């Protein structure tokens, strides 16, 4: 029996192709059943996220079946072969462990993928689509992901501007954002992303101020917050704890005196200002005021780069964990007399025969 993974991801495939294959969480089991029945698979787990669609399977022989497996998911005849990668045995194991541990993600070390892998596995297990091999493989993948989280720093340190804003806010407010009021000035995409991150972490109220009051009202409704007329945003500083400014204005929107004038009404409550506009919206001189913390886009991106560099330095430790886990599982699932994964000399995988040459270039590029 051969363990394999066949798939495509953001590394090999543009979003307009990935979206053709995207499978809703509620349909993973149904699609997995169809793949198992029509693909001659003894075991199967289907993983589908915004960045990848992968089929993990066990089969006596694929017989050039990969392209057809992916067409089963779409019900069409689109040629996915230029984008597909296929890995077997040890490589398939190592790939899954890297995926589950967040090492193959757009954001190195992100944690959401671990939950997505777990959900895909439990959905397949519930429908009895897994057996002795994939049960061991996926359980070990989740154990490896946990070990990576606890024994390395690969997931520490925010790696997006929005998540850095949250990280800084939690430092300033002693990790408790539950009673904080967030105000967004302007309606830039990055500003909205920052506010979304803050709202997810429990910020109590969101105020939205924009030159277009209708736009402010629509965005406030989305956050369950309140719209503020643009000419009233300075007075509203007295209410806010966190201000994210992203107006696109060619001139400074908040002057030092604007901020200083509301400090008495704030009664020494800290004020955290995030200026992600270029040109800057907030006068840098506000940093001279007591209990006022200002970060601009360069400050945030410098933290992102430093955190990303720190994560990359943890890769070797993560890869050592994966190598050890892979070797242990291979020893369990591969009969010594038929260890084609170890020797690479017993047979040539028929899967590869159906793949476009570009796939092998892609695999080499991203190995």
At residue 339 the predicted structure's pLDDT band, cuts being 50, 70 and 90, is: very low
252-275 residue pLDDT tens: 999 999 999 999 999 889 999 999
More confident residue, 358 or 306: 306
Does residue 184 sit in the same domain as residue 303? yes
Determine what percent of the chain is predicted with pLDDT higher than 90. Answer: 61
Is 6:72 a contact under the CB 8 Å cutoff? no
Q: Are residues 150 and 173 in the same domain?
A: no
Last residue of a domain, one of 307, 327, 348: 307
Average pLDDT score over residue span 165-194: 88
| 34 and 120 co-located in one domain | yes
Q: Is the pLDDT of residue 114 over 90?
A: yes
What CATH number did the domain enclosing 294 receive? Answer: 3.40.50.720
- pLDDT category of residue 351 using cuts at 50, 70 and 90: very low
Domain stops at, among 270, 287, 307: 307
User: Tell me, what DSSP letter sits at residue 262?
Assistant: T
Instruction: State whether residue 47 is helix, strand or coil.
Output: strand
Q: What is the mean pLDDT of residues 340-346?
A: 40
Does position 139 have pLDDT exceeding 80, yes or no?
A: yes
CATH of residue 86's domain is 3.30.460.30
Is the pLDDT reported for residue 344 higher than 70?
no
Domain check: are 241 and 274 in the same one?
yes
Position of tokens 């400090």?
263
Mean pLDDT of 102-125: 93
Residue whose C-alpha is closest to residue 308's, from 113, 147, 102, 47: 102
Calculate ∠ Cα 74-78-82, nearest 5°: 115
Last residue of a domain, one of 260, 276, 307: 307
Task: Give the H or E element holding residue 317.
Answer: helix 315-333
pLDDT at 64: 66
The backbone torsions φ and ψ at residue 31, rounded to the nearest 5 degrees and listed phi first, read: -65, -35
Per-residue pLDDT, 350: 40
Return the closest-CA partner of residue 100 out of 63, 163, 56, 36. 56
Residues 205 and 248 in one domain: yes
Q: Which domain holds residue 291?
A: 161-307
Do 147 and 201 belong to one domain?
Answer: no
Q: Read off the pLDDT band of 32 (50, 70, 90).
A: very high
Residue 219: closest CA among 185, 253, 242: 185
Res. 206: pLDDT tops 50: yes
Same domain membership, residue 200 and residue 80? no
Residue 263, classified by CB atoms within 10 Å of its CB into exposed (0-12), middle (13-18) or buried (19+), is middle
Give per-residue pLDDT as tens, 35-80. 999 888 999 999 999 889 999 999 988 666 788 888 888 777 788 8
Please report the pLDDT score of residue 336 as a whole number.
Answer: 63
> Can you say whether the dihedral through the CA atoms of 272, 277, 280, 281 is positive or negative?
negative
Q: How far apart are CA 87 and CA 101, in angstroms?
A: 18
Residue 36 shares a structural domain with residue 127: yes
CA atoms within 13 A on the CB side of 250: 0
- Model confidence at 286, pLDDT cuts 50, 70, 90, reads very high
The tally of domains found in the chain comes to 2
Query: Measured between alpha carbons, how far is residue 64 from residues 39, 68, 86, 138 in Å?
Result: 10, 9, 11, 25
| pLDDT at position 175 | 83
When pLDDT is cut at 50, 70 and 90, the band that residue 181 belongs to is: very high
Task: For residues 210 and 280, state if they share a domain.
Answer: yes
Partnered with residue 181 across adjacent β-strands are: 205
Identify the DSSP state of 71.
H
Highest mean pLDDT among 127-141, 303-317, 329-343: 127-141
If you average pLDDT over residues 354-362, what whole number do you get? 37
Q: Is 50 a catalytic residue?
A: yes
Q: What is the mean pLDDT of residues 2-11?
A: 93
Q: Which helix (H) or strand (E) holds 320?
A: helix 315-333
pLDDT given for residue 121 in this prediction:
98
pLDDT at 63: 65
- 186 and 291: one domain? yes
Maximum distance among all Cα pairs of the chain, rounded to whole angstroms = 80
pLDDT tens, 91-109? 999 999 999 999 999 888 9
Cis preceding-peptide flag for 279 (omega within 30 of 0): yes
At 128, list the tokens: 């009895």
Annotated active-site residue in 30, 50, 318, 349: 50
Instruction: Give yes or no for a contact between 271 and 292, defined as CB atoms under 8 angstroms apart.
Output: yes
Whether residue 355 is predicted with pLDDT greater than 80 in this model: the reply is: no
Same domain (yes/no): 301, 321: no
Do the beta carbons of residue 297 and residue 276 sit within 8 Å?
yes
pTM: 0.69
Q: Same domain, yes or no, for 13 and 142?
A: yes
């Amino acid at each position: 029996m051969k363990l394999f993974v066949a798939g495509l991801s953001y590394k090999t495939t543009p979003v307009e192709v990935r979206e053709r294959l995207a499978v809703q969480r509620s349909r993973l089991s149904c699609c997995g059943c169809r793949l198992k029945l029509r693909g001659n698979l003894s075991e199967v787990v289907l993983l589908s996220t915004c960045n990848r669609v992968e089929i993990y399977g066990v089969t006596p022989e694929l017989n050039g079946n990969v392209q057809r497996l992916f067409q089963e998911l779409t019900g069409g005849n689109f040629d996915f072969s230029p984008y597909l990668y296929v890995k077997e045995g040890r490589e398939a194991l190592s790939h899954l462990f890297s995926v589950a541990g967040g090492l193959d993600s757009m954001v190195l070390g992100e944690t959401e993928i671990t939950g997505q892998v777990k959900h895909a596995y439990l959905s397949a297990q519930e429908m009895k689509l897994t057996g002795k091999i994939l049960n061991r493989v996926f359980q070990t993948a989740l154990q490896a992901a946990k070990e990576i989280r606890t024994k390395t720093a690969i997931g520490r340190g925010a790696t997006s501007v929005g998540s850095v804003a949250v990280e800084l806010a939690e430092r300033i407010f002693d990790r408790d954002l539950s009673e904080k009021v967030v105000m967004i000035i302007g309606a830039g995409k990055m500003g909205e992303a920052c506010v979304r991150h803050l709202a997810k972490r429990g910020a109590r109220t969101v105020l939205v101020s924009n030159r277009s009051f209708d736009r402010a009202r629509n965005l406030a409704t989305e956050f369950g917050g309140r719209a503020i007329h643009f000419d009233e945003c300075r007075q509203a500083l007295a209410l806010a704890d966190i201000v994210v400014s992203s107006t696109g204005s060619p001139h400074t929107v908040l002057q030092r005196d604007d901020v200083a004038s509301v400090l008495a009404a704030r009664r020494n409550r800290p004020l955290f200002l995030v200026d992600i506009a270029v040109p800057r919206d907030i006068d840098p001189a506000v940093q001279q005021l007591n209990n006022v913390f200002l970060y601009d886009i360069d400050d945030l991106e410098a933290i992102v780069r430093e955190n990303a560099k720190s994560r990359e330095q943890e890769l070797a430790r993560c890869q050592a964990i994966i190598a050890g886990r892979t070797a242990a599982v291979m020893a369990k699932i591969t009969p010594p007399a038929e260890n084609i994964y170890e020797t690479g000399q017993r047979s040539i995988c028929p899967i590869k025969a159906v793949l476009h040459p570009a796939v092998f270039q892609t695999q080499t590029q991203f190995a």
